[in-house]
């Protein structure tokens, strides 16, 4: 039985705006050993959503699509707000609002990020490859799992 609370909390998900970038960069720095730059977030604004709790941005997700493929580029929830189901909530939102023509979604995840891997597997993602030495760490580099979810039409 999971001890995590679910995102039954009063949260909202909306498009990321330039005014959110300071908070988003702070979340990214708190969550990542090799954080995205502000410029990377600026270039991704049109593909980005934020999740708010009590009118404060506590997480974000960035998913872009080209033709029939989408890629989850980045997703994070501030460490103080983790374990409440907010990461699952923003991922589910992104998956529920895919462009109609998308048939497959790809992502990379750190080999050591067991919670994220479990979340992705619960959402139908499967490992389709590995990327050696993909992520920077304090001690060198870490492999990434390449995961994919196929979208079927009924």
SS (H, E, C) the chain: CCCCCCCCCCEEEEECCHHHHHHHHHHHHHHCCCCCCHHHHHHCHHHEEEEEECCEEEEEEEEEEECCEEEEEEEEECHHHCCCCHHHHHHHHHHHCCCCCCCEEEEEEECCCHHHHHHHHHCCCEEEEEEEEEEEECCEEEEEEEEEEECCCC
As a whole number of angstroms, the distance between CA 122 and CA 56 comes to 27
What are the pLDDT digits (tens) for 50-65?
A: 999 988 999 999 999 9
Q: Comparing 138 with 52, which gets the higher pLDDT?
A: 52
Instruction: Tell me the catalytic residues.
Output: 108, 120
Rounded to whole angstroms, the Cα distance separating 30 from 63 reads 20
CATH number of the domain residue 68 falls in: 3.40.630.30
The CA angle 98-102-103, to the nearest 5 degrees, is: 125
Bridge partners, 65 (sequence order): 70
Residue 96 has pLDDT above 80, yes or no: yes
Q: Is residue 114 part of a domain?
A: yes
What is the distance of C-alpha 7 from the center of its chain? 15
Instruction: Tell me, yes or no, whether 67 lies in a domain.
Output: yes
**The pLDDT value given to residue 125:** 97
Stretch 95-102: mean pLDDT, rounded? 94
Number of domains the chain is built from? 1
The pLDDT of residue 10 = 81
For residue 113, give its domain range. Answer: 11-150
Instruction: Say if 41 falls within a structural domain.
Output: yes
Which pLDDT value is given to residue 7? 55
Q: What is the pLDDT of residue 45?
A: 95
Q: Does the structure show a pLDDT above 90 at 142?
A: no
pLDDT exceeds cutoff 70 at 8: no
pLDDT band for position 107 (cuts 50, 70, 90): very high
Average pLDDT estimate for 31-50: 94
Q: Looking at the domain assignment, is residue 87 inside a domain?
A: yes
pLDDT for 1 equals 28
């Amino acid at each position: 039985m999971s001890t995590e609370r679910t995102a039954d909390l009063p949260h909202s998900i909306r498009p990321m705006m330039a005014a959110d970038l300071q908070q988003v960069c702070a979340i990214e720095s708190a969550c990542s050993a090799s954080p995205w730059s502000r410029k990377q977030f600026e270039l991704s604004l049109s593909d980005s959503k934020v999740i708010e709790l009590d009118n404060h941005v506590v997480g974000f997700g960035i998913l872009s699509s080209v033709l029939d493929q989408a890629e989850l580029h980045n997703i994070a929830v501030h460490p103080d707000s983790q374990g409440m189901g907010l990461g699952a909530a923003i991922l589910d939102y992104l998956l529920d609002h895919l462009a109609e023509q998308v048939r497959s979604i790809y992502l990379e995840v750190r080999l050591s990020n067991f919670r994220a891997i479990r979340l992705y597997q619960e959402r139908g993602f499967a490992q389709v490859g590995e990327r050696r030495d993909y992520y920077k760490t304090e001690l060198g580099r870490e492999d990434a799992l390449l995961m994919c979810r196929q979208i079927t039409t009924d």
